[in-house]
């Protein structure tokens, strides 16, 4: 390993290319691995962010339309019979599953209590689907800076070893290695910041939507 660092130290003195691709290819296998991990995390985070943004935009609109149609209908059973076999809106799914379970039961004893249970189970099931991917965003937001910091520490260690082996304290010797190290930190922050912001926003949106489902369930129970 020392021979590799020594050869890097000799070549780095004349290498002034600090482009991102050059920094990546000059880095050793550990720093390269850190950079690749952070890039993959960042790309997947953005995929989750875009997907959740579209999801909340879609379900907020579809749920409003569903509620409007529901409260304008003659009865819950009539409205249920008019629904298509497969609905995509979470609120519609909760209502459809609850009505299906209710109509299958012949006994009408403890109707309100059983409907409340059906609705609670349905809401929990739908919110589990909606919240899928939140854990990944939270994990990236909390760990990416430390992964980047690990790459930075490793790169700076290599830079100091280059100084010791070459016995040259010139900035030209250590600057490329430090630049590679700081590149890992920058990528860590680049992956973490959007993930944290998106997680906080979508977590708030999720709580608001969950409350909307619960409010609908309570109002629905009053007409049973």
Is there a contact between 144 and 41 (Cβ–Cβ < 8 Å)? yes
Q: What is the pLDDT of residue 82?
A: 87
pLDDT tens-digit map of 31-84: 888 889 999 999 999 999 999 999 999 999 999 999 999 988 888 888 888 888
- Predicted local confidence at residue 157, as pLDDT: 82
Token readout for 124 is 């929990």
pLDDT value of residue 32:
86
As a whole number, mean pLDDT of residues 11-27 equals 59
Its pTM stands at: 0.79
Structure tokens that stand for 95 in this block: 């209502």
**pLDDT at residue 31, as a whole number:** 82
| Average pLDDT for 95-116 | 77
Q: Which two tokens stand for residue 208?
A: 């608001």
* Residue that has been written with the tokens 């260690």 in this structure: 157
The least confident of 48-57, 83-92, 134-143 is: 83-92
Has residue 118 got a pLDDT over 70?
Answer: yes
16 vs 199: which has the higher pLDDT? 199
Q: Within a 10 A sphere around the Cβ of 180, how many other Cβ atoms?
A: 28
Whether 186 has a pLDDT exceeding 70, the answer reads yes
Confidence of residue 29 (pLDDT cuts 50, 70, 90): confident
Q: Which two tokens stand for residue 103?
A: 């109509």
14 — pLDDT class (breaks 50, 70, 90): very low
């Amino acid at each position: 390993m020392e021979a590799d660092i020594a050869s890097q130290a000799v070549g780095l003195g004349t290498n002034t290319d600090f482009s991102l691709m050059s920094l990546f290819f000059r880095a050793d296998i550990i720093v390269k691995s850190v950079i690749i991990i952070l890039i993959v995390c960042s790309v997947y985070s953005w995929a989750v962010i875009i997907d959740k943004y579209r999801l909340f935009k879609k379900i907020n609109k579809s749920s409003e339309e569903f509620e409007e149609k529901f409260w304008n209908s003659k009865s819950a059973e009539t409205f249920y019979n008019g629904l298509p076999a497969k609905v995509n809106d979470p609120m519609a799914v909760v209502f459809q599953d609850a009505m299906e379970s209710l109509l299958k039961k012949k006994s009408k004893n403890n109707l309100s209590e059983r409907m409340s249970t059906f609705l609670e189970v349905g809401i929990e099931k739908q919110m589990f689907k909606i919240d899928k991917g939140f854990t990944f965003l939270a994990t990236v937001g909390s760990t990416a800076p430390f992964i980047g910091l690990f790459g930075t520490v490793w790169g700076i260690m290599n830079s100091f070893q280059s100084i010791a082996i070459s016995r040259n304290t010139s900035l030209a010797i250590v600057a490329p290695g430090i630049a590679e190290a700081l590149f890992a930190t920058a990528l860590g922050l680049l992956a973490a910041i959007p993930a944290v912001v998106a997680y906080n926003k979508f977590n708030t949106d999720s709580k608001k939507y969950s409350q909307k489902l619960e409010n609908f369930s309570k109002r629905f129970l009053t007409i049973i």
